[in-house]
């Protein structure tokens, strides 16, 4: 992998993917600016930390000033997507257009039509939810701006992520605190249907690769994940890693509200195929190893960890 050169800016640097990306870039010796709302972050000493409000155009432009690559990893609670994500994206596009930076956009797979066939970058986009329709619109906005010569951009898509530092995910704090405690583990979907999940370090490495390859520009790329497993299999592997016998709790829509859980039901995906592998190579982390490392991280943090930190993470 080519080492990133010049300034790399990570927006949403304290979210799950953002914090992993900051660590990966710093480990390669890149000049990194970690951007979030608070201006506070636990990062390597070489990393610059900067506060910015992505709803403010001038603040966003200042955060991106001097960048070679801008990684847009900032996230929000689901109920704020429609209000803020389009504004954020407009401001980020304006910023990278003004500074000449390449935009690498972190995306999910909500825009695809439900299918039993493997998902590819060319799969039908027919979202059935408002969130999916919004994500489709945002991606189309980025690709149109690239096609019109306004910006240089690429999009990396991954399913729901999990791993060290990831709290506000469908397989995040609620899942792993239950595993470590040996309690019933909530699974937001059907227990025996395969779901593709992305280990956060794989997702961040995939974005880093896209940011260092000219041939990635102007396209959507599925970032490779390990083989999709069922919810029951993920819980079994995580329980083995924790040395406990945690049981699965399938969470229905009604129980979701009763428990006060805010995560959306996991997007079912039997399999994903990757043009990424043919273009750039790489091997995703096996789920057994990824779950072991995630369980270890949660144990080190103490459980339950921090609702406050999860809230800060979503603010990016």
Whether 7-159+198-222 shares its CATH topology with 161-196+227-270+286-315 is answered no
Is a pLDDT exceeding 70 seen at residue 168? yes
* Nearest Cα to Cα of residue 17 among 120, 158, 226: 158
What's the confidence (pLDDT) of residue 145? 98
Is a pLDDT exceeding 80 seen at residue 305? no
| Residue extents of the structural domains in the chain | 7-159+198-222, 161-196+227-270+286-315
Is a pLDDT exceeding 70 seen at residue 169? yes
Is a pLDDT exceeding 50 seen at residue 229? yes
* Nearest Cα to Cα of residue 105 among 59, 150, 60, 152: 152
- Summarised one tens digit per residue, pLDDT across range 134-150 is 999 999 999 999 999 99
Question: What does the alpha-carbon distance between residue 97 and residue 64 come to, in Å, rounded to a whole number?
Answer: 10
- Summarised one tens digit per residue, pLDDT across range 59-89 is 999 999 999 999 999 998 888 999 999 999 9
pTM higher than the cut 0.75: yes
- Summarised one tens digit per residue, pLDDT across range 179-208 is 999 999 999 878 998 889 999 999 999 999
According to DSSP, the residues that pair with 34 across neighbouring strands are: 10, 49
* Nearest Cα to Cα of residue 225 among 193, 203, 194: 203
> Residues of the chain with pLDDT > 70: what percent?
87
Place of tokens 């530092």: 165
Is the domain 7-159+198-222 a CATH 3.30.70.330 member?
A: no
Which pair of structure tokens corresponds to residue 67? 């960048």
Which pair of structure tokens corresponds to residue 208? 């880093």
Among 9-23, 104-118, 160-174, 256-270, name the most confident range. Answer: 9-23
Question: What does the alpha-carbon distance between residue 158 and residue 135 come to, in Å, rounded to a whole number?
Answer: 13
Question: What does the alpha-carbon distance between residue 65 and residue 58 come to, in Å, rounded to a whole number?
Answer: 10
What's the confidence (pLDDT) of residue 308? 42
What's the confidence (pLDDT) of residue 80? 92
Higher local confidence (pLDDT), 267 or 218? 218
What's the confidence (pLDDT) of residue 34? 98
* Nearest Cα to Cα of residue 223 among 237, 233, 234, 209: 209
What's the confidence (pLDDT) of residue 313? 39
Question: What does the alpha-carbon distance between residue 14 and residue 260 come to, in Å, rounded to a whole number?
Answer: 24
Long-range pairs of 145-152 with CB within 8 A, sequence gap ≥ 24: 145/93, 145/97, 146/217, 146/218, 147/218, 150/93, 150/97, 151/93, 151/96, 151/97, 151/103, 152/96, 152/101, 152/102, 152/103, 152/217
What's the confidence (pLDDT) of residue 303? 55
Question: What does the alpha-carbon distance between residue 82 and residue 158 come to, in Å, rounded to a whole number?
Answer: 20
CATH number of 161-196+227-270+286-315: 3.90.1170.50, 3.90.1150.10, 3.10.20.740, 3.90.25.10?
3.90.25.10
What's the confidence (pLDDT) of residue 254? 57
Higher local confidence (pLDDT), 193 or 107? 107
């Amino acid at each position: 992998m080519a080492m990133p050169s010049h300034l790399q800016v990570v927006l949403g640097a304290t979210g799950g993917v953002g914090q992993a990306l900051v660590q990966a870039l710093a480990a390669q010796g890149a000049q990194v600016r970690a951007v979030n709302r608070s201006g506070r972050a636990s990062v390597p000493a070489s990393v610059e930390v900067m506060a910015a409000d992505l709803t403010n155009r001038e603040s966003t432009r200042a955060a991106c000033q001097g960048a070679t690559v801008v990684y847009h990893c900032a996230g929000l609670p689901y109920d704020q997507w429609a209000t803020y994500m389009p504004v954020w994206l407009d401001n980020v596009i304006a910023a990278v257009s003004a500074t000449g930076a390449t935009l690498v956009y972190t995306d999910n797979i909500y825009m695809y039509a439900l299918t039993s066939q493997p998902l590819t970058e060319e799969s039908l986009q027919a979202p059935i939810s408002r969130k999916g329709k919004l994500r489709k619109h945002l991606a189309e906005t980025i690709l149109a701006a690239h096609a019109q010569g306004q910006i240089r951009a690429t999009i990396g898509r991954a399913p729901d992520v999990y791993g060290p530092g990831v709290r506000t995910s469908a397989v995040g704090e609620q899942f792993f605190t239950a595993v470590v405690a040996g309690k019933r583990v909530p699974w937001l979907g059907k227990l025996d249907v395969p779901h593709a999940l992305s280990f956060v370090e794989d997702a961040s490495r995939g974005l880093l690769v896209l940011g260092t390859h000219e041939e990635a520009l102007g396209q959507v790329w599925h970032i490779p994940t390990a083989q999709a497993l069922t919810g029951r299999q993920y819980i079994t592997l995580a329980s083995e890693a924790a040395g406990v016998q945690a049981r699965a709790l399938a969470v229905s829509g009604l129980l979701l509200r009763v428990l006060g859980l805010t995560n959306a039901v996991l997007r079912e995906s039997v399999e994903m195929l990757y043009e990424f592998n043919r273009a750039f190579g790489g091997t995703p982390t096996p789920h057994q190893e990824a779950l072991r490392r995630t369980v270890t991280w949660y144990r080190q943090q103490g459980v339950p960890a921090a609702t406050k930190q999860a809230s800060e993470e979503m603010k990016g």
